[in-house]
Structure 1
C-alpha cells in the first residue's frame, strides 16, 4: 500500500506539463511559421512530422522502464523542453531560423513524448488503483486545459506583442521565451511537489530491477490476453472522434453557404474557452468519481455512449442551421461534457491493459496505438468532408463510432477495476 503523497498537489501540474509542450509543438508552431512567412506546403509537411514521436514512443519506452526512476526522467525531460523553447525563441531572428527551430522542436517533441511516458508510469506507481480511477478525470481535465492555454493564451500573447512591437519576429521570439520560462517554473514546481515514491519501490525490488531486455519488455505486451481484440478496440474507439476534432472548427467558422455555421473565430473561442472548459472539467471529474465509486464495468457502456451521442447534435446543426447561437452552445456543452465524462473510461481501460510488470512501457505502447488511431483517420478527414459535405460527414463520423462500441462489448476485464476499496 502506498502512503499518502498528496496527489492533489502534483497531479494537476504534472499533467499540465504534458499537454502544454504538445500544444506548442503541434499547433502553435503552425501559427508561428505562418506569421513568419513560411509557405503552406512546408508548414504542412514539417509540422505534421513533429507528431511522429508520440506515435513511435513505445519503441524507446522500455528504456524509461528499465533505467533510473520515472521521476528523474520526467524532471529531466521537462528541463530539456524548457531549454529547447528558449533556443527556439533566441534563434527566431536568425535568417535560417526555420531549419534551426524545426530541429530544436524535434528534440522537444521527443523529450515531450518521453515526459508523457515517464509521467504516466509515475502516476501508476505513485497511486493505488482506486486513486488512479478517481484522478483520471483530473488528469484529463488539466491536460485539456493545458492545450487550451497553448492554443489560446499563448497565441493571444503573441498577437498582442505583434501589435505592440509591429515586428512579428520579435513578438514570436519573446513569446517562445515566455513559454520556456513557464515550462521552467513548472519543472521547478514538480521537483518540489512530486513524491519520491520509487525510492521504496527500488529498495523492495518490485519495479525497477532491469531483469528484462528491451525486446522482452516490448514483446510481453503482445502476449496479453485478447491482444488482437484489445488493439482493434484501441485503434477504432476514437475513429469518429479523430475526424470530428479536425473538422469541427472549420464547420463552425465556414459560412452557411458552404455548409458551416458562419461563426467568427472569436465566437468559437468564447464557446470553447468558457462553457466548453466548464463542461469538460465537470465531465472529467464526474467520470473519475463514478468509476472510483462503482468500478469500470458498470460505467463502460454509458460512458462510451456519453462520448459519442453528442455527435447527433452536430448532425442536426449541419442539416438545419438554426439561426440562434444558443443551439451551438448547447451542442458544444454536451460534446465537451461527454468527452470529459466518457474518455475517463477509455483511459481507465488502458491502465488495465498496461497493468502488471513493465506497466510504464505497456501503457506507452497502448497510448502509441491510440495516437496512431487518431493520426491516420484525422489525416483523411478533410478529404472525406470535402467529398461528403458537412451534413453527410457528421453522419459518417457518427457511424464510425459503432465499431469501437461493438468491440467494447467483447472486452474482458474485472467489473470492479478502479473501484475504491471499502476500507478506503
Structure 2
C-alpha cells in the first residue's frame, strides 16, 4: 500500500495519539486515581504494576495480528474495546467494590492497548515507504509524547478540578473516566475515516508453518552474543525507576504527617503532566542529537548517570519537605529531563540488540523484557515504601540503579553505533 505524504499527515498524528493515551491512563493516571480514592500504596503498587503484563507478553501473541485480518481492522477494533473499557470504568467507580471491578476492566483495556500498539506499528510500516517512514518518525514520537502530556496533565487536572467542584472523589473520577472513554471514541471514529482503507496483503502461504517460523525467530534472539549480560542489563536497568514511578505520585499527594508533600491532584497534573513532559521531550530530543553526533559509546555512561542521579532530589524532598513549590518543580524537571536524555541511550542500545534478521520481532522481545523489568519491581514498590517510609525508600531507589550502571560497562557494542554517517565528500 502506498500513501501520499499529504494524506499521511491526516492519520499518523492521531493514530499515534490514540496509541499513547490508553497507556498513560492505564499505567500512570490509574495510580493517581486510586490514590485519591483511598487505595493503600501496597495495593496500588502491586495491582497497577500487573497492568504492565500485556506489554510484557505482547511478543507471544503479536504473530496472530500478522496472520489474521488486516492491521487496520485490528487497531480499530482494539481502540473500540479501549473506548468501551474506559466508559465502563467510569460507570463502575461509584460502586461499592469499584477497585476490583475497575482493575478487571483495566486489564481488558491493557491487552487491547498492547494489541493496538502492535497493529498500529505494523500498519505504519505497511502504509509508508522507507523514505516516508523516516520522515514521519519524529511526528510519531511527538504525538505519542503529546498523548502522555494529555493523560498525565490535562486528564489529571480535570480529575482534580472535579474533586473540588463536587467534593466527591468517586463522582469526580467517574466523570473523568467517562470523558476519557468519550475522547477515545472520537479518536476511534476519526481513525476509521482518516486511515487508508486498502492494505497490502501478507505474502501468500506465509502461514504455512507459523509456529516453526516464529519459534526459530524467538529462539534466535537468545543466541545473540552476551545474551546473559544483555538480559540482565535490560531487566535491571529500570530497577530503581520502576519503583520510583509507582510511588512518586503517592509521595506528592500524601499528607506531611505520613511523609508526603501534601500537594493537590491539580498540582500534580500541572507539575508532572505539563512541565514534566515538556522537560522529558526536550531531554529526549537532545539525547537523540548527541548520539547521532558522537555515537552511543561516548554517551552511554553520562546519559545513564543523567537519568538516575536526579533521584537524589527526591531523597532531599522526602527528608526536608520544603514548602516552596519551586523546589518540587525543579526536582521534577531535573528528573524528567534526565529521564528523557538518558532513556534515549537505553532505547538506542535495544535497537542494537535487535539488529540482524527478524529485527522487528527481536525488538518486540527486548521491549517485552524491558516491561518485565518494570512490572516486577513495581509490584513490590508499595510494600517497600510502607516498610521503609518515603525518605529511606528514595535512598533505596537510588541504590537500586547501581546494578544497571555496573552492567552497562560490560556491554560490547560498536562505539559509533547510532552516529549519523557523513555523506559529504
Q: State whether structure 2 residue 150 is matched by structure 1 residue 146.
A: no
Residue in structure 2 matched with residue 337 of structure 1 by the alignment: 337
Contact in 1 for aligned 2:21/2:151 (Cα 8 Å): yes
State whether residues 218 and 362 of structure 1, in contact with CA within 8 Å, keep that contact through their aligned partners in structure 2: yes
| Corresponding residue of 2:113 | 112
**What SS does structure 2 have at the residue aligned with 1:60?**
helix
In structure 2, relative to structure 1, the CA distance for the partners of 1:132 and 1:316 (3 Å cut) is farther
Contact map agreement 1:307 1:338 (CA 8 A) in 2: yes
2:360 is aligned with 1:380 = no
Farther-moved stretch of structure 1 (343-352 vs 156-165):
156-165
| Equivalence for 1:240 | 240
Q: What does residue range 221-370 of structure 1 map to in structure 2 within 5 Å?
A: 221-256=221-256, 258-370=258-370
Q: 1:123 to 1:355 in 2, by over 3 A?
A: farther
Asked if the contact 2:93/2:102 (under 8 Å) is kept, the reply is yes
Of 124-133 and 253-262, more deviation after overlay is shown by 124-133
Residue 61 (structure 1) aligned with residue 62 (structure 2):
yes
Residue aligned with 1:412, SS: coil
C-alpha separation between the residues in 2 aligned to 1:384 and 1:36?
21
SS at 2:415 equivalent: coil
**Counterpart-to-counterpart distance in 1, 2:142 and 2:48:** 25
Cα gap change, 1:384 to 1:117, in 2 (>3 Å) = same
**Following the alignment from structure 2 to structure 1, what is the Cα–Cα distance between the partners of residues 397 and 41?**
27
| Cα distance in 2 between the residues matched to 1:315 and 1:268 | 18
Query: 1:9, CA displacement in angstroms?
Result: 6.2
Structure 1 partner of 2:415: 415
Preserved CA contact (<8 Å) 1:202 1:209? no
Separation (CA, whole Å) in 2 of partners of 1:347 and 1:215: 25
The Cα of 1:411 is off from its aligned counterpart by 2.0
- Rounded Cα–Cα distance in structure 2 between residues aligned with 1:267 and 1:174: 19
User: 1:184 maps to what in 2?
Assistant: 185
- Offset from partner CA, 1:55-112 (integer Å, 9 cap, x none): 3222212323455554553344223323444555677799998887665543322111
2:371 equivalent in structure 1: 371
Distance 2:282 2:76 in 1: 29
Stretches of structure 1 lacking an aligned partner (at least 5 in a row): none
Deviation at 1:24, TM superposition (A): 3.2
Q: What's the offset of the Cα at 1:307? A: 0.7
8 Å CA contact 1:134–1:288 kept in 2: the answer is no
Deviations 1:358-408 (A, max 9, x none): 433322222221121112112222332333333333222222111111212
CA separation in 2, counterparts of 1:133 and 1:413? Answer: 27
The Cα shift of 1:40 comes to 10
The Cα of 1:324 is off from its aligned counterpart by 3.4
Rounded to whole Å, the distance in 1 between the matches of 2:19 and 2:251 is: 28
Q: TM-score, with normalisation over the residues of structure 2?
A: 0.78
Q: Once the 2 structures are TM-superposed, how far is the Cα of residue 197 of structure 1 from its aligned partner?
A: 11
In the alignment, the residues of structure 2 paired with residue 195 and residue 419 of structure 1 have an alpha-carbon distance, to the nearest angstrom, of 34
Q: Which residue of 2 aligns with 1:24?
A: 25
Residue of structure 2 equivalent to 1:52: 53
Q: 8 Å contact 2:153–2:270 — kept in the other structure? A: no
Deviation string 1:87-145 (CA, Å, 9 cap, x unpaired) is 55677799998887665543322111112233445567758699769947x66664454
8 A Cα contact 1:141 1:285, kept in partner: no
1:43: how far off? Answer: 8.1
Q: Deviation at 1:303?
A: 1.7
Describe the shift of the 1:197–1:221 C-alpha distance in structure 2 as closer, same or farther (beyond 3 A). farther
**Structure 2 unaligned spans of 5+:** none
Task: Give the distance between the partners of 2:288 and 2:23, measured in 1 at CA.
Answer: 24
CA distance in 2, matches of 1:299, 1:190: 39
**What is the distance in 1 between the residues matched to 2:113 and 2:400?**
30
Contact 2:92/2:98 (<8 A) preserved: yes
CA distance in 1, matches of 2:210, 2:308: 40
* Structure 1 residues 320 and 43: CA distance shift in structure 2, 3 A: closer
Contact 1:130–1:419 (CA under 8 A) maintained in structure 2: no
In 2, Cα distance between the equivalents of 1:37 and 1:372? 27
Query: Partners of 1:335 and 1:227 in 2: how far apart?
Result: 30
- Which residue of 2 is the match for residue 393 of structure 1? 393
Against the structure 1 CA distance between its residues 133 and 174, is the aligned structure 2 distance closer, same or farther, given a 3 Å change threshold?
A: same
Whether the aligned pair in 1 keeps the contact of 2:94 and 2:171 (CA below 8 Å) is yes
